[in-house]
Amino acid sequence: MSEMGELKESGCVAVSDDGKPVNNSELMMRALQYAAGIGIMVISHAEELELVGEGTMNEGFTSTELGLKGIPRVAEDIATARETMLAEYTGTPIHIAHVSTKGAVRIIREAKVRGVKVTCETAPHYFTLTDDAVRGYNTNAKMNPPLREADDVAAIKAGLKDGTIDAIATDHAPHHLDEKDVEFNIAMNGIIGLETSLPLSLGLVTDGTLTINQLVEKMSCIPSKILGLQRGTIKVGSVADITVIDPTCEWVVEADRLSSKSKNSPFLGWKMKGAAAVTVVDGKVAFSR
C-alpha cells in the first residue's frame, strides 16, 4: 500500500491500482478501510489478472479468427463485483475506471440500487468501437480492458443513459511508435484519447443517448464532484477552467495535426464533428483553435 495519508497531504485526490490491478482481496479491503479514514478516493482498474492471463484482445469470435489469445469479459466482471462488494462491506466509496463490459454495467447498476457508494466511468472507444477494430492486427486498437463486442457497446450506452455510468474519461495513454510498431502480442496497451474524446462523445448527443447538458455533466461536472475538486462549475469565485466547444466543426484525425507527441490512435483517418475552440485553464487561455 502507498503512503495514502502523506499523498493526501501533498495534494493527491485519489489513489489507484491502474497499471497493476490488486489481485489480493484482503489488500484491497485494507486499502479501502485506510482510504475511508484519510478521505481519499480509490480508483480501481478492475481486471482479474489470472483470467487476463496472456490475453491480448477480447475473447470471442474475432480473437479466434485472428488466432490471438483472448481476455474474457468475466475477468472484468469478477473484479468489478469484488470492488462493489468490498465498497459495500467497508462503506467506502470506490470508483471503477474504464468500464467496458455489459456484465460490469449490470453489476454496478445493481450495486447502486442497493445504495453502494460506487461510481464509474467509461471511455469513448468503448462506446464507439468493437473488437473488429483489431482486425489487421492493428496495435492502435490494443488496450486494457480490450475493445469488446456490439452488445457491450449497447450496454455501455444504456448505462450512460440511465446514469449507471457517471462519467466519460479518456484513459489517455501515449506510446512511442517503437512500442506500437511491433507484433500485436508484444505491443504496449493503450491509446491516446484526449483530442478525439469530445467529437466521439458528441456522437452520443447526435444518436439520442444523452442531452448536451448530460454530456457536459459526464465530461466535466461529475468527474470534478467524484474527485472532490472545486471545478466543473461556472460561477463567480470558482476556478476558471472552461472549454468553449464548437459542435459543428468538421475535421479529420491526421497524425501530423495531432497536438499529442504520440499518434497511437485507432481513429486516424476518421472524420470528426465537434472540437474544442478555446480552452481556459485557471483563467488563462491555454489553447485556441
Q: How many CB atoms lie within 10 A of CB 239?
A: 16
d(CA 61, CA 52): 17
Q: Is 171 a catalytic residue?
A: yes
Burial classification of residue 57, based on how many CB atoms lie within 10 Å of its CB (0-12 exposed, 13-18 middle, 19 or more buried): buried
Nearer Cβ to Zn ion, position 47 or 217? 47
Tell me the window of 17-25, 82-90, 122-130, 161-169 that interacts with Zn ion (CB under 5 A). Answer: 17-25
d(CA 200, CA 64): 29
Nearer Cβ to Zn ion, position 187 or 210? 187
Nearer Cβ to Zn ion, position 20 or 235? 20
Least distance (Å) between residue 118 CB and Zn ion: 17
Least distance (Å) between residue 45 CB and Zn ion: 4
Alpha helices for the chain (secondary structure H):
4-9, 25-38, 49-52, 61-66, 73-90, 102-113, 124-128, 150-162, 177-180, 194-206, 212-216, 222-227
* Under rule CB under 5 A, residue 16 binds Zn ion: no
> 43 forms bridges with which residues in the sheet?
16, 95
> 251 forms bridges with which residues in the sheet?
272
Least distance (Å) between residue 43 CB and Zn ion: 9
Tell me the window of 12-20, 86-94, 124-132, 247-255 that interacts with Zn ion (CB under 5 A). Answer: 12-20
Tell me the window of 37-45, 77-85, 146-154, 157-165 that interacts with Zn ion (CB under 5 A). Answer: 37-45
Least distance (Å) between residue 137 CB and Zn ion: 22
Residue from 12, 14, 18, 214 touching Zn ion (CB under 5 A): that is: 18
Least distance (Å) between residue 171 CB and Zn ion: 6
d(CA 130, CA 17): 25
Q: Which one of 171, 178, 241, 246 is the catalytic residue?
A: 171
Least distance (Å) between residue 230 CB and Zn ion: 26
Give helix 73-90 / helix 25-38 axis angle, nearest 10°: 50
Main-chain dihedrals φ then ψ at residue 237, nearest 5 degrees:
95, -15
Q: Which of residues 38-67 bind Zn ion (CB under 5 A)?
A: 45
Question: For 145, left (φ over 0), alpha (ψ -120 to 50), or beta?
Answer: beta
Nearer Cβ to Zn ion, position 29 or 123? 123
Nearer Cβ to Zn ion, position 45 or 157? 45
Binding mask 164-203 for Zn ion (x = CB under 5 A): ----------------------------------------
Residue with nearest beta carbon to Zn ion = 45
Q: C-alpha angle with apex 245: 125 to 167, nearest 5 degrees?
A: 40
The torsion of the CA quartet 97, 103, 109, 112, rounded to 10 degrees, works out to -60
Nearer Cβ to Zn ion, position 104 or 210? 104
As annotated, the active-site residues are 171
Site for Zn ion, rule CB under 5 A: 18, 45
